[in-house]
């Protein structure tokens, strides 16, 4: 039996350049209708879908198109306005909606946009539901009779609801009084949420990246561009810096010395604190790109660790299969499954801050207990038909590099999911050796695929 392949849905919803198919108003109209048809068949009585968005300018256009499509299918809509992606997952559950829709391209620039869906449980849609929506997309739109049209209403207290949820994820006895925190919201959907969360917990907050204009989301700010955060932390002599991406599901931190603390290190800080408190969280799920230093540091704590393919969907699947509560990626997409159903930047930051408070040690000290190993990555153009696994010269070269690195090193050849190239990554204890081996290995890969190095 040949497996079905999806036309529009990728690993994280539907995403692309605004104005280029399928990120167009006419497609969004039909997508809203198709989703409405699918979810209208799943519930009893009046069904509703929650719609939120980030701060990019095209969100207004796509919100209107989706609203028209969903209501044409006879499904009600609750509109939240700009809200973090994990907030929509949370509100979809608590408001008992059939589904949640987020209009966002996450950490991309404003020229892109996309659609993410959440199930009624606040999780990503199962494949069969995405297939069902794509099946409806092949049909012509048929509007329900006027008396059955959906209605749209705006949730005016969505931000307040989510702020209270975030605060509830740490102990009510914890207060961050005396802590000076720089909070970078990437001019994205956390701009009116994150500063309030930390302020209401007692911290002195210096907000940056909180003036979205529709065009500046992720521009020079946020988790993908933390340089401004580093500079502000040092200038303000702050204790900690926290940066989110445009839709609020990723977080990176900065310690008081100006060191960037990535997702691997944040995962370690949270896992170590839970281990110290004898909290049973099973183990930690990372990805093929997670730093080997994380694996070694967790092993020293006797915490199990496994790797999955890159992508939060794969991390989540790995966690569910094992019944584990903690997982994430180097990029700062961290999932605390015992707290919420998806990656949440604010919740993850609060877990790290709670660990700092519990240990009564600064972030700089906690991150130093995990030693990140140097990584070197070289991109090599790759024909999609070239089989790296079957190539004897490449596999022999990989084995040779692995033997030189020993147990505290590793090699990864990862074909890009978006570009015709392979990422040659070497990780080990010495940066000079790692860089040299990565270049040698990439030269062999390039020779075998017939590309000049």
pLDDT tens across 321-336, in order?
999 999 999 999 999 9
- Residue partners of 344: CB distance under 8 A and separation at least 6: 84, 86, 89, 248, 249, 334, 335, 336
For position 415, what pLDDT does the model report?
Answer: 83
Q: Where in the chain is the domain with CATH 3.40.120.10?
A: 14-156, 162-368
For position 12, what pLDDT does the model report?
Answer: 82
Contact 92, 3 (CB under 8 A): no
Averaged confidence pLDDT in the chain: 94
Query: Is 106 part of the annotated catalytic residue set?
Result: yes
Pairing of strands 99-103, 180-184: unpaired
For position 43, what pLDDT does the model report?
Answer: 62
pLDDT at 2 over 50: no
* pLDDT per residue as tens digits for the range 289-308: 999 999 999 999 999 999 99
pLDDT at 201 over 50: yes
CA atoms within 13 A on the CB side of 265: 22
Percent of the chain past pLDDT 70, that is, above it, reads 97
pLDDT at 95 over 90: yes
The CATH number for 162-368, chosen from 3.50.50.60, 1.10.8.60, 3.30.1060.10, 3.40.120.10, is 3.40.120.10
- Residue with token string 């049909």: 139
Rg (CA), the chain: 23
Which is the catalytic residue, given 21, 41, 104, 106?
106
For position 1, what pLDDT does the model report?
Answer: 38
Q: Specify the fold of 14-156.
A: Alpha-D-Glucose-1,6-Bisphosphate; Chain A, domain 3 (3.40.120)
Give the range among 249-258, 332-341, 409-418 with minimum mean pLDDT. Answer: 409-418
pTM over 0.75, yes/no? yes
44-48 CB contacts, 8 Å cutoff, 24+ apart: 46/76, 47/75, 47/76, 47/98, 48/75, 48/76, 48/77, 48/78, 48/95, 48/97, 48/98, 48/150
Mean pLDDT of 439-453: 82
For position 382, what pLDDT does the model report?
Answer: 83
For position 10, what pLDDT does the model report?
Answer: 86
Mean pLDDT of 190-199: 98
Q: How far apart are the first and last CA of the chain?
A: 41
Q: Where in the chain is the domain with CATH 3.30.310.50?
A: 375-449
Residue 72 main-chain phi, psi, to 5 deg? -65, -25
CATH code that applies to domain 375-449: 3.30.310.50
For position 418, what pLDDT does the model report?
Answer: 64
* pLDDT per residue as tens digits for the range 44-94: 556 999 999 999 999 999 999 999 999 999 999 999 999 999 999 999 999
Mean pLDDT of 411-426: 85
Which of 56, 61, 14, 58 shows the shortest CA–CA distance to 35?
14
For position 453, what pLDDT does the model report?
Answer: 46
Q: pLDDT category, 449, cuts 50, 70, 90?
A: confident
Task: Return the number of other C-beta atoms located less than 10 Å from residue 257's C-beta.
Answer: 12
Percent of the chain past pLDDT 90, that is, above it, reads 89
Mean pLDDT of 118-141: 95
pLDDT at 5 over 90: no
For position 417, what pLDDT does the model report?
Answer: 66
Which of 243, 282, 278 shows the shortest CA–CA distance to 263?
243
DSSP annotation of 256: T
């Amino acid at each position: 039996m040949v497996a079905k392949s999806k036309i529009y849905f990728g690993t994280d919803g539907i995403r692309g350049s605004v104005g280029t198919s399928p990120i167009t108003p006419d497609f969004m109209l039909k997508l809203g209708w198709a989703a409405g048809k699918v979810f209208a068949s799943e519930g009893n009585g009046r069904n509703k879908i929650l719609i939120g968005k980030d701060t990019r300018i095209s969100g207004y256009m796509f919100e209107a198109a989706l609203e028209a499509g969903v209501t044409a299918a006879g499904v009600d809509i609750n509109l939240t306005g700009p809200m973090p992606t994990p907030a929509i997952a949370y509100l979809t559950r608590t408001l008992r909606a059939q589904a949640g829709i987020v209009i966002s391209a996450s950490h991309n620039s404003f020229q892109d946009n996309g659609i993410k869906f959440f199930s009624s449980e606040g999780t990503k849609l199962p494949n069969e539901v995405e297939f069902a929506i794509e099946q409806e997309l092949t049909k012509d739109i048929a509007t329900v009779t006027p008396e059955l049209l959906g209605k749209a209403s705006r949730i005016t207290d969505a931000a307040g609801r989510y702020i209270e949820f975030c605060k509830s994820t740490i102990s009510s006895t914890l207060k961050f009084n005396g802590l000076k925190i720089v909070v970078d919201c990437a001019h994205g959907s956390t701009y009116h949420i994150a500063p309030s969360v930390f302020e209401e917990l007692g911290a002195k907050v210096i907000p940056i990246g909180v003036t979205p204009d529709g065009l500046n989301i992720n521009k020079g700010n946020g988790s993908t561009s933390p340089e401004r955060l580093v500079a502000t932390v040092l200038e303000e002599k702050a204790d900690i810096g926290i940066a989110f991406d445009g839709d609020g599901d990723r977080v990176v931190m900065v310690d008081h010395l100006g060191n960037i603390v990535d997702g691997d290190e944040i995962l370690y800080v949270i896992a170590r604190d839970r281990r110290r408190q004898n909290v049973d969280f099973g183990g930690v799920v990372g990805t093929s790109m997670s730093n080997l230093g994380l694996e070694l540091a967790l092993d020293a704590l006797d915490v199990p660790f496994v790797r999955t393919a890159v992508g939060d969907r794969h991390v989540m699947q790995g966690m569910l299969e094992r019944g584990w509560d903690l997982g994430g990626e180097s990029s700062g997409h961290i999932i605390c499954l015992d707290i919420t159903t998806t990656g949440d930047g604010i919740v993850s930051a609060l877990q790290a801050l709670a660990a700092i408070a519990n240990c009564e040690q600064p972030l700089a000290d906690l991150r130093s207990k995990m030693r990140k190993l140097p990584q070197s990555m070289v991109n090599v153009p790759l024909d999609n038909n070239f089989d790296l696994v079957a190539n004897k010269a490449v596999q022999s070269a990989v084995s040779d590099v692995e033997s030189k690195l020993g147990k505290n090193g590793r090699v990864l050849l990862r074909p890009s999911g978006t570009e015709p190239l392979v990422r040659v990554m070497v990780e080990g204890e010495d940066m000079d050796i790692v860089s040299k081996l990565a270049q040698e290995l990439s030269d062999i890969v390039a020779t075998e695929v017939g590309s000049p190095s």
